[in-house]
Homo-oligomer: A and B are copies of this chain.
Amino acid sequence: MKRVTIGDVAAHAGVSTATVSRVLNDGLVAESTAAKVWAAAEFLGYSPNALTRSIFAGRSSTIGVVIRDLSSPFYLDLIRGIDEVAAASDSPVMLASTYRRAEREAAQVRAMDQHRVRGLVMTADETADSHARQMAENGTPCVIVARTVPGLHSVSLDDAAAGRLMAAHLADCGRARVGIVSGSHRPTQVKRVDGLRQGLSERDLPQPEEVLVGNENEVDGAVGSLLQRNDAIVCTTGRLTVAVHAALTARGLRMPDDIGFLTMDDFAWAGTLGISVVAQPSYEMGRRAAELVVEEPSAPARIVFQPTLIARGSC
Q: Is A93 an interface residue (CB 8 A)?
A: yes
Q: Is A29 an interface residue (CB 8 A)?
A: no
Interface positions, chain A 212-255, Cβ under 8 Å from B, are: 242, 245-246, 249
Contacts of A54 in B (CB 8 A): 51
Q: Is A3 an interface residue (CB 8 A)?
A: yes
Q: How far is the CA of A114 from the CA of B52 in the complex (A)?
A: 10
Nearest CB in chain B: distance from A287 CB, A: 14
Nearest CB in chain B: distance from A24 CB, A: 11
- Is A1's CB under 8 angstroms from B92's CB? no
> Interface segment, A152-160, A167-175, A196-204, A269-277?
A269-277
Q: How many residues of A contact B (CB 8 A)?
A: 47
Nearest CB in chain B: distance from A108 CB, A: 8
- Is B60's CB under 8 angstroms from A83's CB? no
Q: How far is the CA of A71 from the CA of B54 in the complex (A)?
A: 31
- Is A242's CB under 8 angstroms from B272's CB? yes
Q: A71-B76, A92-B96, A97-B80 are in contact. Are A110 and B47 (CB under 8 A)?
A: yes
- Is A49's CB under 8 angstroms from B272's CB? no
Q: Is A70 an interface residue (CB 8 A)?
A: yes
Q: Is A134 an interface residue (CB 8 A)?
A: yes
Q: How far is the CA of A139 from the CA of B3 in the complex (A)?
A: 9
Contacts of A51 in B (CB 8 A): 51, 54-55, 60, 115-116
- Is A246's CB under 8 angstroms from B271's CB? yes
Nearest CB in chain B: distance from A219 CB, A: 13
Closest chain B residue to A271, Cβ basis? B246
Q: How far is the CA of A112 from the CA of B92 in the complex (A)?
A: 9
Q: Is A189 an interface residue (CB 8 A)?
A: no
- Is B95's CB under 8 angstroms from A93's CB? yes
Interface residue from B52, B96, B139, B242 paired with A93 (Cβ < 8 Å): B96
Q: How far is the CA of A139 from the CA of B45 in the complex (A)?
A: 14
- Is A80's CB under 8 angstroms from B70's CB? yes
A-B contacts, 22 listed (Cβ < 8 Å): A3-B138, A45-B134, A45-B138, A47-B113, A49-B55, A50-B111, A50-B115, A50-B116, A51-B60, A51-B115, A52-B55, A62-B115, A70-B83, A76-B76, A83-B97, A92-B115, A93-B95, A94-B94, A94-B95, A245-B272, A246-B271, A269-B273
Binding site for B on A (CB under 8 A): 1, 3, 45, 47-52, 54-55, 58, 60, 62, 70-71, 76, 79-80, 83, 87, 92-97, 104, 110-116, 134, 138-139, 242, 245-246, 249, 268-269, 271-273
What 19 new A-B contacts, CB under 8 Å, besides A50-B115, A51-B51? A1-B138, A1-B139, A49-B116, A50-B114, A51-B60, A51-B116, A52-B55, A70-B79, A70-B80, A92-B96, A93-B95, A93-B96, A94-B95, A242-B272, A246-B271, A246-B272, A249-B272, A269-B269, A273-B273
